């Protein structure tokens, strides 16, 4: 799902445009705690990003951010709750690529990802990395992965955290662009998927660098390439898939924040300013770096345009690969 504009440019813009945050009492907002919905279970990259930013933003704005995990249905349960919440700035949500791909996967969604939400800011990118079990797969490069797959159509498998996740779509994009046949094996979460990869039940995985890196460093997984346009700061010596033999390949797992549609623009602007400042805080940057996340930032308008481009790219990939929910 190739980006339609540069996330790197957004990161630069965020640094240039951030200004000192005005007093929290201005316009009376916020005057009570802000509920931050995380539509997935605790412990993942999304949850960590929300908690890290929420702590710093709470200090800036003078009110705590209360993290509420509302997992289920690929993020749709939490998103539906936010879409129906009062648009007063006291309920916000963190989302990932699923916000863009779910419309193509769930024909009967209870919300519209564009009409029912007000964009606040892009937050961060957490690259995915193509990994293999070295006890099962001899490949160490993208070219070798492709050569093995072409020589053995349908033999090799790639695991994912579930249909429609960035881990799944990274594999589907790879298979499509490399013109090879590989079997997708979906799991209910990254944890069981990587457990089976380590156990030798599956061959490959386009896992998040957050969960894959410890196994790479321990020598239990072979790191082959990252899925993003740029190399990962967490694995700087590892090439991108595009660099390593599949030109034009790019899948960027991103995270962003939204509020219910109709939230006053002054409130959105205040939240955006706080998020962008928090992303520059040394403590936040250190915490994000520890999980392989790279801060981005950006304006609400940039997020609106980015979401539209990702919805289009996601639908094209899903339809071309015939991907459907189980």
Confidence class for position 190, pLDDT limits 50, 70, 90: confident
Stated pTM of the model: 0.85
Query: Which residue did the predictor score with more confidence, 26 or 132?
Result: 132
Find out whether 62 and 75 touch, Cβ atoms under 8 Å: no
pLDDT, tens only, 150-159: 999 999 999 9
CATH number where 289 lies:
3.40.190.150
Sort 13 into a burial class: Cβ within 10 Å, 0-12 / 13-18 / 19+.
Answer: middle
β-pair partners for 260? 117
Residue-range definition of the domain harbouring residue 115 = 7-126+253-321
What are φ and ψ of residue 290, in 5° steps? -65, -20
User: Cα(228)–Cα(223) distance, rounded to whole angstroms?
Assistant: 14
Report the SS3 class of residue 25: coil
Residue 231 lies in a domain: no
Q: What CA–CA distances, in Å, run from 188 to 41, 120, 163, 224?
A: 12, 29, 9, 24
Count how many domains the chain has.
2
Confidence class for position 7, pLDDT limits 50, 70, 90: low
Residue 248 lies in a domain: no
Residue 238 lies in a domain: no
According to DSSP, the β-strands at 128-132 and 222-226 are antiparallel
Q: Among 226, 244, 261, identify where a domain stops.
A: 226
pLDDT, tens only, 56-111: 999 999 999 999 999 888 788 999 999 999 999 999 999 999 899 999 998 888 89
Question: What are the tokens at 90?
Answer: 């006291």
Kindly tell me if the per-residue pLDDT of 20 is higher than 60. no
């Amino acid at each position: 799902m190739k980006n339609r504009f540069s996330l790197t440019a957004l990161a630069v813009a965020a640094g240039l445009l951030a200004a000192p945050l005005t007093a929290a009492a201005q316009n009376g907002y916020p005057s009570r705690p802000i509920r931050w919905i995380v539509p997935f279970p605790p412990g993942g990259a999304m949850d960590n990003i929300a908690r890290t930013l929420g702590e710093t933003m709470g200090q800036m704005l003078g009110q705590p951010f209360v993290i509420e995990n509302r997992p289920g249905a690929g993020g749709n349960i939490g998103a539906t709750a936010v879409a129906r919440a009062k648009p007063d700035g006291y309920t916000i949500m963190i989302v990932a690529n699923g916000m863009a791909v779910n419309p193509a996967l769930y024909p009967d969604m209870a919300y519209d990802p564009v009409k029912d939400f007000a964009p606040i800011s892009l937050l961060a990118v957490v690259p995915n990395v193509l990994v293999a079990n070295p006890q099962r797969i001899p490949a160490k490069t993208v070219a070798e992965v492709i050569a093995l797959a072409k020589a053995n159509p349908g033999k090799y498998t790639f695991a994912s955290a579930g249909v429609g996740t960035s881990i799944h779509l990274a594999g589907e994009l790879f298979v499509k662009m490399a013109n090879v046949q590989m079997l997708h094996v979906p799991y209910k979460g990254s944890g069981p998927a990587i457990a089976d990869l380590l156990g030798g039940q599956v061959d490959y995985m386009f896992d998040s660098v957050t969960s894959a890196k410890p196994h790479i460093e321990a020598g239990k997984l072979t790191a082959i390439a990252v899925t993003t346009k740029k190399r990962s700061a967490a694995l700087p010596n590892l090439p991108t898939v595009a660099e390593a033999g599949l030109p034009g390949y790019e899948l960027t797992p991103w995270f962003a924040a939204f509020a219910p549609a109709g939230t006053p623009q002054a409130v959105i602007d205040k939240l955006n300013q706080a998020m962008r400042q928090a992303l520059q805080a040394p403590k936040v940057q250190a915490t994000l770096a520890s999980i392989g996340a790279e801060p981005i930032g950006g304006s609400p308008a940039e997020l609106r345009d980015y979401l539209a481009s990702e919805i289009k790219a996601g639908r094209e990939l899903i339809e071309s690969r015939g991907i459907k929910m189980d």
